Amino acid sequence: MCSGARIARTTAHEVKSSSTDDSTNTLLAMLSSEERAVLEFERAWWLEPGPKDQAIEFALGLSAAAYYEVLRSLVRDRRALEFDPMTIKRVHRLMNLKSPTVEATG
């Protein structure tokens, strides 16, 4: 799944301090390795060369569709919000911007 040289270097949630506490360890254990890899990739994907869909496949071994399916589920997952609030809030905001608003006609 994760072949990733860059992903391997960004594990253990760089935003938190290098000394992880019990709550961080609990959050790490609650998310699957695939979920953590997706969050870590989303946090810094622009550092990867080339288009995002190619970087997804190269770093994670996932198709873009599978990646976005996992990412959408993480946006709705409280564990992911606790693990990486900045990334989840940013993705949530971007997804809301891209979603067409439905106006009632009457």
67-84 per-position pLDDT tens digit: 999 999 999 999 999 999
Residue 15's pLDDT is what? 40
Exposed, middle or buried by CB within 10 Å (0-12, 13-18, 19+), for 16? Answer: middle
10-53 per-position pLDDT tens digit: 443 444 444 455 555 565 568 999 999 999 999 998 887 889 99
Distance CA(85)–CA(78), nearest Å, equals 9
Under DSSP, the state recorded for 19 is S
Residue 63's pLDDT is what? 97
Give 26's contacts (C-beta < 8 A, 6+ positions apart): none
Q: How far is CA 57 from the centre of its chain?
A: 14
Query: pTM for the whole thing?
Result: 0.67
Name which residue leads in pLDDT, 88 or 20: 88
